[in-house]
Amino acid sequence: MEPVFVIAEAGVNHNGDLGMALALCDAARASGADAVKFQTFRAEDLVVPGAPTAEYQKRQTGEQDQFGMLRKLELSPEQHERIRDHCYAIGIEFFSTPFSLEAVDMLVALGVRRMKLPSGELTHRALVEHACATGLPVLLSTGMATLDEVREALAWAAGARGSLAGVTVLHCTSAYPAPDASLNLRAIVTMREALGLPVGYSDHSTGIEAALAAVSLGATVVEKHLTLDRKLPGPDHAASLEPGDFGAMVHGIRRITAMLGDGVKAPRREEQDAARVARRSIVASTDIPAGTALQASMLACRRPAAGIPPAEWDRVVGRTTRAAIAAGSVLQWDALQD
The model's pLDDT over 24-49, given as tens digits with 9 standing for 90+, comes to: 999 999 999 999 999 999 988 889 88
Q: How many other C-beta atoms are found inside a 10 Å radius of the C-beta of residue 11?
A: 25
CA distances from 126 to 14, 99, 322 (A): 28, 11, 84
Q: Identify the pLDDT of residue 256.
A: 98
Closest CA to 170 of 121, 99, 117, 217: 117
CA gap 102, 216 in Å, rounded: 37
When pLDDT is averaged across residues 129-156 and rounded to a whole number, the result is 98
Residue 1 has pLDDT above 80, yes or no: no
The answer to whether the CB of 191 falls within 8 A of the CB of 200 is no
The model's pLDDT over 311-332, given as tens digits with 9 standing for 90+, comes to: 999 999 999 999 999 999 999 9
| Domains of the chain, earliest start first | 5-260 (3.20.20.70), 269-335 (3.90.1210.10)
The model's pLDDT over 256-287, given as tens digits with 9 standing for 90+, comes to: 999 999 999 999 999 999 999 999 999 999 99
The model's pLDDT over 222-260, given as tens digits with 9 standing for 90+, comes to: 999 999 999 999 899 999 999 999 999 999 999 999 999
Q: What is the largest CA-CA distance in the chain?
A: 100
User: Can you state the angle between helices 243-260 and 18-31, rounded to 10 degrees?
Assistant: 30
- The model's confidence at residue 66, banded by pLDDT at 50, 70 and 90, is confident
